[in-house]
Structure 1
Amino acid sequence: MPKRVDHDQRRKEIVEAAWRLIGRGGFEAATMREIAAEAGFANGALKYYFSSKDDLLAAAFQHTFFRVNERASHTIEGRTGTAAIRTLCLEMLPLDSERQIESRVAVAFWDRAASSAPLRKIHRDSFAIWRKWIEDELETARRNGEISSGLSDRAIVDTLFYIITGMRVLPTLEPGATRPEAQLEMLDSVLSRIA
């Protein structure tokens, strides 16, 4: 009997292989040959799962957002309002080796997204999900009396995104420049001003 192949699982393995290579060595390291080797496939096998390298790279970019969302959905469980917002923000920050790799991958993709409409759309759609998530929790926080500042939801979300984006970029460009403790202090300082 022929071996049954889980094509979704194989596709995921290829995406994760590309993602790891980009995290270690940037786009130069993510050739189709290297991605296939990292995933444990023959070079030509990737064509069955992705029509082009651009499609594969787009899936790897999306994977970065999926990882944050998956972790956040578990860590936020039971939290609401400002506690949930802080938890989501923590999942985006490069506070440990896993999230540092995510930040390196995100920064690498942001450069490419500047000249790629499909990658910009992935970025825009993913940030829209995070924006909605935070706005829903802001509504809860206001109802519960956690926020008394007159800042609009848009101003709060924009401030958080600017701070988090900067904190993802700086440690990528200057490893060790921003300690996790300093990132937490900065985030908590911003959140306290919002409240």
Structure 2
Amino acid sequence: MLMKCIRAFSVLALLGMAAVFTFGSGANQVSAQPAGCAADAVYKVGLDDGVIEFDELRRTYRVYVPESYDPTQPTPLVLSLHGFASNARQQMEFSQWNRVADEHGFLVVYPQGSGTPLRWNSGRIGGRLAELFPQTDDVAFIRALLDHLSQTLCIDPARVYATGLSNGAGMSSRLGCELADRIAAIGGVAGAYTPTECDPGRAVPV
């Protein structure tokens, strides 16, 4: 029953994010053509895996490129963040973002957390539980990942969105607070983590 409820909330989140793609919302309205729109193809249509070096760690991610992707046209991007002790593959299978990307024509990236078990430094955990969560600067990691992807994919910088499940939802909230210059809107499932201190500099749609 719980999984059915979570999936129902996931569908609602997908529909809400799809509406954002349709009507638009922007972190930064940029007129210049993004660098990745002139780059040679790095990722094949469909599913691909990638890795970047960040803070002396090999950080991995999965990227989904729909068939409708035009490497000369700036394209929206969704970051989908997995929950505690999950991973990028499980998040992809659970969220079903690839299906929605095919319908609406956007890119999806599934970054993977760090540590054992895998998790995100969502900045919302205190007390003894804090020992379970890494001190990795995952906000800086996501910024570095976006910088990397923007050199290899034709991404619309004004339409980059973050969503996640549980611990990933908490991380998407943190990105809305601390990376509002790069994230247009956020959405979370099974993790209503409300930051106590948040000054994004602008209103970030949730």
TM-score (norm 2): 0.28
Larger-gyration structure (1/2): 1
**Greater RCO, CA 8 A, separation 6+:** 2
Higher helix share: 1
TM-score (norm 1): 0.29
Higher strand share: 2
